Structure 1
Amino acid sequence: MPTTSQPLRKLGFLTIGLFDGADPRPGHESTLDVIELGEQLGFDSAWVRHRHLQYGISSPVAVLAAASQRTSRIELGTAVIPLGWENPLRLAEDLATVDILSGGRLNPGVSVGPPMHYDQVKQALYPDTADAEDFGYDRVRRLLDFVCGEPAAGFSGTEGFEVFSDRVEPHSPGLADRMWYGGGSLRSARWAGENGMNLLTSSVVKAEESEDFAEIQLSHIRAFRSHHPDGERARVSQGLVVIPTDTASAEQRARYEEYARKRTPRTATPQGPARMMFAPDLVGTSSEIAERLYAHAAFREVDEVAFALPFTFEHQDYVQILTDMATRLGPALGWSPSD
């Protein structure tokens, strides 16, 4: 086994939390069960995606509030909350509340940009201010300031029987250090570093200086750290779709391989006007996947990951994949499960 990468320090996973629109509870319960299983298997973190007006988790903070009461150790993250849908002050209140309830385990990941299909949704989302909304980095900066405890109002003190604070309450002092930015471009990587955030890299990046996915992701990691106050110690988590098949049945292996095969064409060249590059899904035994990861230029720069679970698989598939990740792939990467 190659030894060009440092041992993996933190192993996490990411799920989209699909559900049936006619009966949404089982899908949400399945997501919570998967997070509980992750803790039992020793994973360091569990992350949930954010999907608005779709059949995936639309309120990850609420889901993670529930998860915080079913778990005691595993870190809980969002990858990512698109801030174009959010009011930073209200989101800061929700994040701090869940962080308090979880005992300081929340890792909020956020991103900027206009909401998806904005022209179709803006009248429902911002009926009076749609053309005036700012979807840039200032929206993240406002959220960070509120999380850090900067003033949110020009008054505080007692008014009648009520006591008011001039900052977001509850205040969770350690939360600011666990704020992540989900970046797919050099500009985002630099901004996240300059603003002292942690960086989430995913299976989608913008082809700017190269059309080689690993090279692009590596350039983002290095740009981020070169602009971060912590330099090489700045935290980066890599997210790729990883599907170990060690204990999979023949039917599962065939289905996993077909899933990856259908998605492979989009990984060959940049996609769309934004020139987005997609990473190939990694399917195979844990030994095979470890070999491919050790050969991945960006993976060799990180010591924590949040491997993405495929979108459309069944609950029992996730159980098998997570179990193989924790018991076979993680150890092959030098990782040890948390107690």
Structure 2
Amino acid sequence: MTSARLGFNARISFPTGGAAQALRDGIELFRVAEQLGYDTGWVYQRHFDNYLASPLVFHAAVAQHTDRIGLGTAIIGVRYEDPILLAEAAATADLLSSGRLQLGLGTGQGGFDSVFGQEPNDGREQSQTRLAAFLRAVRGEQVGVVGDLAGMVATGTELTVRPTSPGLGDRVWYGAGSVASAERVGRQGLRLLLSTILSGQIDDYGAELARAIKTYHSVHPATSPAQVAVARSVLPATSPELRRRYAAYDEERRTQGPAASRPQGALAPTAGPPARFTMSPVHHGDPSEVLDQLLADPSVALADDLIAFLPPAFGLRENLRLLEDIATTVAPHLGWVPSAPA
């Protein structure tokens, strides 16, 4: 960690019927994480499932209960987002949080084209088209002109998104799961979010991510900030009970892949890790063992931000214990210093 920034990624998952409590617990998670000195907290978007669907609305609420912690999205899938509406919502959330939004975007989950009123398409290509339109909008560039002769605004009037939030355009991240996609993000001048799932069968996960980071930096222009975040399952066991719990989660993730640690009532994906993907390792054991594993990972050393991925089915009490243990037993030995109150 070159600048020793520490974050966490919470799924904000809920059992069927428990969404309201899960959202309140999510706000409490951010509030306590800020007290522990975490630099950022990230949330994930997932449609039609027992997970958070509207990260920007959630962060607008979190902003009213916190003062300093960065509010990240990892990720919002742009394939189903209207670029202008997304820019409006992002700017509003950023202004409400006094410029704390870290906006992570990506292609996102597929399979819902018809539900969103779209013809089946190449999600990656469509995402890139919508990303370009979003970047123009969020940076305050012209997005169109008035063409309705019957309107109250003069025909030909230039249109820009309002409100805009100064600096938000430089805090846009994009998710990548391969060296090639990391290179594309670098050429676009965006910040890089490296996924916990890589494309293809990878023998050395950390080495592959290190390649992606080096490639990203080699092509990133000097006109915008270059920043890299890596996400890891970091589970330091500070009791025998936690050691057993974390080992069981590791086994579940190894055997079930994306289906692991899902809340009651959630949609069940195909069991087992797909052969075309490689899941990130779970770093668990005594704090010293976890630290050694992270120190041996070349991508962690190259990253600006380490994001601790919280198991989706963990409840508030489990997650708070995990955040505290990471902040006190592992992160300081990686060079991290807790952020001071605002």
- TM-score bracket relative to the smaller structure: 0.7 to 0.9
Shift in Å at residue 272 of structure 1? Answer: 3.5
1:53 equivalent to 2:48? Answer yes
Structural mapping, 1:226-241, within 5 Å: 226-230=218-222, 234-241=226-233
Shift in Å at residue 310 of structure 1? Answer: 0.8
Structural mapping, 1:285-304, within 5 Å: 285-304=286-305
Contact 1:76 1:107 in 2 (8 A): yes
Structural mapping, 1:147-226, within 5 Å: 147-155=138-146, 159=152, 166-207=159-200, 210-226=202-218
Counterpart residue type for residue 289 of structure 2: E
Which stretch of the first structure deviates more once superposed, 99-108 or 18-27?
18-27
Return the alpha-carbon distance in structure 1 between the equivalents of residues 303 and 120 of structure 2: 39
Return the alpha-carbon distance in structure 1 between the equivalents of residues 225 and 27 of structure 2: 32
Match of 1:16 among 5, 11, 33: 11
Shift in Å at residue 182 of structure 1? Answer: 0.7
Contact 1:151 1:166 in 2 (8 A): yes
Shift in Å at residue 154 of structure 1? Answer: 1.0
Return the alpha-carbon distance in structure 1 between the equivalents of residues 171 and 127 of structure 2: 21
Return the alpha-carbon distance in structure 1 between the equivalents of residues 33 and 231 of structure 2: 16
Shift in Å at residue 184 of structure 1? Answer: 0.4
Counterpart residue type for residue 333 of structure 2: A
Pick closer, same or farther for the CA change 1:305–1:132 going to 2, 3 Å.
closer
Report Cα offsets for 1:20-59 as digits up to 9, x if no partner: 2223111111111101111010100000011111101011
Contact 1:112 1:139 in 2 (8 A): no
Contact 1:76 1:105 in 2 (8 A): yes
State the secondary structure of the residue aligned to 2:57: helix
- Counterpart position of 2:130: 139
State TM-score, norm by structure 1: 0.87
State the secondary structure of the residue aligned to 1:47: strand
Shift in Å at residue 232 of structure 1? Answer: 12
Return the alpha-carbon distance in structure 2 between the equivalents of residues 217 and 329 of structure 1: 21
- Counterpart position of 2:323: 322
Contact 2:142 2:160 in 1 (8 A): yes
- Counterpart position of 2:254: 264
Match of 2:76 among 81, 86, 90: 81
Gaps of 5+ in 1: none
State the secondary structure of the residue aligned to 1:238: strand
Contact 2:145 2:158 in 1 (8 A): no
State the secondary structure of the residue aligned to 2:214: helix
Shift in Å at residue 145 of structure 1? Answer: 1.2
What percent identity do the matched residue pairs reach? 32
Shift in Å at residue 271 of structure 1? Answer: 5.3
Return the alpha-carbon distance in structure 2 between the equivalents of residues 45 and 293 of structure 1: 19
Shift in Å at residue 186 of structure 1? Answer: 2.2
Pick closer, same or farther for the CA change 1:100–1:262 going to 2, 3 Å.
same
Shift in Å at residue 256 of structure 1? Answer: 1.6
Gaps of 5+ in 2: 258-271
Return the alpha-carbon distance in structure 2 between the equivalents of residues 231 and 9 of structure 1: 23
Contact 1:266 1:278 in 2 (8 A): no
Counterpart residue type for residue 224 of structure 1: Y
State the secondary structure of the residue aligned to 1:322: helix
State TM-score, norm by structure 2: 0.86
Return the alpha-carbon distance in structure 1 between the equivalents of residues 234 and 243 of structure 2: 13
Return the alpha-carbon distance in structure 2 between the equivalents of residues 216 and 229 of structure 1: 22
Pick closer, same or farther for the CA change 1:68–1:204 going to 2, 3 Å.
same
1:122 equivalent to 2:122? Answer no
State the secondary structure of the residue aligned to 1:337: coil
Pick closer, same or farther for the CA change 1:191–1:131 going to 2, 3 Å.
closer
Counterpart residue type for residue 228 of structure 2: V
